[in-house]
């Protein structure tokens, strides 16, 4: 079968197309014929080892010190169909359209993958009936991240939230979820994304290239920085006294600030990665079925164009998601 092979830590060109053996499902495993995958920021950061110091070192220990060895195929999201199943699998039939994520196990940049039912790092659920494979593959990782952080913040009706990096994959989901929770949403991103972002129902848009969100006298109950690039002092200045700051990119300085803020006041810093659970993916599927949540697809590439897809995904220009059509 065809797969994208990850040969070294580096630029998008380190990803090459190769042929590997097609897997066969063991007991409790499902063989999925992958139709579409998405390109997440985490895929790009992992590929190039562009992570905070301690995280980059930990990744090297896990995957390979000099080059990827333990894991040779990137990719977390997928959408496809059940081709075969091992003994013990329940709740699925051959031909079922499914979607999910492999989390830290990676491996979805390929034509087929075996997923173990019930494994902590293998989420597999039936797709929303209304979605195409390309759309469904854009939901699991970014949707689960957005949902996890908004729930951790315990965002409530009529609270105000500032979403920095609102026009990307996680941001577009966060906007829709925050509006579903009846919050007032201010979105921050490039001006080129304003029309798309406003179509999702935000209350106010800020073009960070021409306006500084912290220069206003407005304060927010929740600030969600998807980019991980904001200065902590600017964030704390812009939060309400009981505000919550959500950040997906943990660093030592942020952990230190979290401890200090926790001791010195009522503001909270919530950092780290989401715990991805089937019940939450099912919840997102329900929102899609009700027309509350929809994935925004910017560009779709073929598997052979994986390097170009990664370049565009990390350019800062994408509006929503970049996806890969795996099987023709």
Confidence of residue 251 (pLDDT cuts 50, 70, 90): low
CATH class of the 141-271 domain in this structure? alpha beta
- Nearest-CA neighbor of 160 among 237, 219, 213? 219
For 73-105, the pLDDT digits (tens) are: 999 999 999 999 999 999 999 999 999 999 888
Out of 3.40.50.720, 3.30.310.50, 3.90.180.10, 3.60.20.30, which CATH number does the structure's domain 2-139+295-325 have?
3.90.180.10
Judge residue 99's burial from the number of C-beta atoms within 10 Å of its C-beta, 0-12 exposed, 13-18 middle, 19 or more buried. Answer: buried
For 121-158, the pLDDT digits (tens) are: 899 999 999 999 999 999 999 999 999 999 999 999 99
pLDDT at 4 over 50: yes
- Nearest-CA neighbor of 147 among 82, 101, 197, 212? 101
For residue 36, the model assigns a pLDDT of 98
How remote is the C-alpha of 249 from its chain's centroid?
12
pLDDT at 258 over 60: no
Mean pLDDT, the chain, rounded, equals: 92
Judge residue 160's burial from the number of C-beta atoms within 10 Å of its C-beta, 0-12 exposed, 13-18 middle, 19 or more buried. Answer: buried
pTM: 0.93
Q: Which residue has the higher pLDDT, 320 or 58?
A: 320
For residue 259, the model assigns a pLDDT of 55
| In the chain, domain spans | 2-139+295-325, 141-271
Q: Which residue has the higher pLDDT, 58 or 317?
A: 317
Instruction: Residue count of the chain, please give it.
Output: 328
């Amino acid at each position: 079968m065809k797969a994208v092979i990850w040969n070294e830590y580096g630029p998008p060109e380190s990803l090459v197309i190769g042929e590997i053996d097609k897997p066969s499902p063991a007991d409790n495993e499902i063989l999925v014929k992958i139709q579409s995958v998405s390109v997440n920021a985490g895929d790009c950061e992992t590929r190039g080892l562009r992570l905070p110091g301690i995280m980059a070192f930990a990744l090297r220990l896990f995957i390979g010190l000099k080059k990827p060895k333990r894991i040779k195929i990137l990719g977390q999201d997928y959408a496809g169909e059940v081709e075969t199943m091992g003994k013990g699998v329940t709740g699925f039939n051959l031909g079922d359209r499914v979607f999910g994520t492999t989390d830290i196990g990676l491996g979805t940049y390929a034509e087929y993958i075996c997923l173990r039912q019930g494994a902590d790092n293998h989420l597999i659920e039936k797709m929303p009936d209304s979605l195409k494979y390309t759309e469904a593959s854009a939901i699991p990782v970014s949707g689960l991240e957005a949902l996890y952080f908004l729930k951790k913040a315990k965002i409530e009706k009529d609270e105000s939230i500032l979403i920095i990096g609102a026009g990307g994959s996680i941001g577009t989901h966060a906007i829709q979820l925050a509006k579903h929770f009846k919050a007032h949403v201010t979105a921050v991103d490039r001006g080129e994304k304003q029309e798309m972002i406003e179509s999702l129902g935000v209350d106010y848009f800020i073009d960070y290239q021409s306006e500084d969100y912290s220069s206003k006298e407005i304060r927010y109950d929740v600030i969600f920085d998807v980019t991980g690039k904001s200065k902590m002092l600017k964030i704390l200045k812009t939060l309400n006294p009981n505000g919550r700051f959500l950040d997906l990119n943990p660093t030592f300085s942020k952990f230190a600030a979290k401890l200090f803020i926790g001791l010195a006041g009522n503001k909270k810093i919530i950092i780290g990665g989401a715990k991805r659970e089937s019940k939450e993916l099912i919840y997102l599927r329900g929102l899609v079925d009700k027309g509350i949540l929809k994935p925004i697809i910017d560009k779709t590439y073929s598997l052979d164009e994986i390097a170009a897809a990664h370049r565009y995904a990390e350019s800062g220009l994408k509006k929503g998601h970049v996806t890969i059509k795996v099987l023709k």
